[in-house]
Amino acid sequence: MQKIIILDFGSQTTQLIGRRVRELDTFCEILPYNKYPQDDADVIGVILSGSPYSVHDPEAFKVDLSQFVGRVPVLGICYGAQFISHTLGGKVEKADSREYGRANLETINLDNPLFKGFEKGSQVWMSHGDTITAIPNDFKVIGSTKDVQNAAFASTNQPVWAVQFHPEVYHTTQGKQLLKNFVVGICGSKQEWSAASFVDTTVAELKEQLGNDRVILGLSGGVDSSVAAVLLNRAIGDRLTCIFVDHGMLRKNEFQQVMDDYRCLGLNVIGVDASEKFFADLAGVTEPEQKRKIIGRDFVEVFNAEAKKITDARWLAQGTIYPDRIESLNITGKVIKSHHNVGGLPKEMHLQLCEPLKWLFKDEVRRVGRQLEMHEHLIERHPFPGPGLAVRILGDITREKVRILQDADDIYIRGLREYVDADGQTLYNKVWQAGAILLSTVRSVGVMGDERTYENPVALRAVTSTDAMTADWAHLPYDFLAKVSNEIINKVRGVNRVCYDISSKPPATIEWE
């Protein structure tokens, strides 16, 4: 299959480049800057990402350009452009001031294939501290802004292009067009990567990979594990056994609802209520990371105990998706965040690993779910933390606190699903993720009737995002917030105040713990 290789030099937007290429129905693979594949027969182009480093830093990431320059088309973005210039004889120097934010291409060579369909003055997004003051001898400038002469340049004798701006970000208004020009126009992508082709190919590969073996899959109720289960079910039928562990901190009535959904999909599912164990082990624990570790440890113990009953199983399947793997294996050697389904299998399980979604981004998983004709409410489910409501309760965990938060969260989520805006969309489908947080370490004075109350506040959180790497707080309608707040305070015993979180990521995170 044709593919674009994206070499990652550590940029925060590398995944976004990958998403944009996939949106062009073209398969791409993000690899560390020093891991260009030896077998590149299917590679039709290479993109060099940005980086937090300067090309002059001693620890700056470097790659041997001769591996692919002259063999396939190459596009350097930001640091990638500076590295190309620096390596091939140009000059990169510290800019007088950091070039960051919006700029406009005042000069564009519209005859160059990289800028096909562009408009003069097209807005781009700059983000760099160094600037290219001289390009290599066999290159020519094809785009300039008011302050950046060498904003875009191209080789005169090889298929190499470079831009000092970021075409992958939203603020570069014709960035998608530029990437399409490169991927489709220059590299010659046949645009054969689609949900339908993925399903057909993956089902066939799973049949070959698994043969007549039995597979165990840990279900979470989320879209990733659900889509993985349906794919596997299509490939091997009842040789798939799914295990759904209830740690007691799911949303209200969620365990039974999810079990019913899975059975409607024809899945062989074992439900395990292990809430007593989880609550006992979490008693008195307040530190967020310790909560996560206890829940992770207990989950593995419960899952393993159930899995051992299936004595003829040979494989463990997981709903690992591509961003999980990229984040967990960050090229700087520092783990950005830990993932419950990345990092190997417990040795005592003696199982091989099967990850049918390991090349997909979240939005692609949803497209595959629709291709598999899954229920829309399963496909559009918001991301939900593995530890569940345990990390949405500040302080220690008790059944009563979980009950309070479940009731408040249920009112909030139902409200988001029921509120239809002027566009005909529900608020639930317009936000990336939403949930309620119980501030159980805080007590709030209130008045109900003629009585003084001293109870807990609840914070509501809703964010918009495309990939959770960055997120903005959702601007929910005032009338909706007023209605939900009033209903929570009136109906949920233990809550007398509701707040709305208007923090973006960064600097805040989506979850509170």
- Active-site amino acid positions: 78, 166, 168
DSSP states along 173-210: TTHHHHHHIIIIIIT-------HHHHHHHHHHHHHHHH
Count of other CB atoms within 10 angstroms of residue 221: 21
> What is the distance between the alpha carbons of residues 377 and 417, in angstroms, rounded to a whole number?
10
Question: How many Å apart are CA 277 and CA 194, to the nearest integer?
Answer: 43
Residue type, 507: P
Residue 361 to residues 31, 72, 319, 477: CA-CA distances in angstroms?
Answer: 15, 25, 12, 30
At 188, the amino acid letter reads: G
Q: Which residues does 120 contact at the CB level (< 8 Å), separation at least 6?
A: 105, 106, 108, 110
Angle ∠(49,325,305) on CA atoms, nearest 5: 175
Q: What is the DSSP letter of 383?
A: P
Q: Give which of 73, 38, 44, 78 is closest to 61, Cα–Cα.
A: 78
CB 194 within 8 A of CB 217: no
What crossing angle do the helices spanning 478-491 and 399-418 adopt, rounded to 10°? 150
Length of the chain: 513
**Whether 60 contacts 17, CB under 8 Å:** no
Rounded to 5°, angle at Cα 477 from 472 and 483: 125
* Encoded tokens for 53: 């480093």
Contact 331, 10 (CB under 8 A): yes
Helices and strands of the chain, counted as H and E runs: 14, 20
Tokens at residue 118, please? Answer: 């562009």
The tokens describing 449, both together, are 């009737």
Asked if 474 and 431 count as a contact pair (C-beta separation under 8 A), the reply is: yes
Pairing of strands 139-144, 152-155: antiparallel
> DSSP E strands: which ranges in 350-465?
352-354, 433-438, 444-448, 451-464
- 348: its two tokens: 């005592």
**Three-state secondary structure along 340-364?**
CCCCCCCHHHCCEEECCCCCCCHHH
DSSP state of 271: E
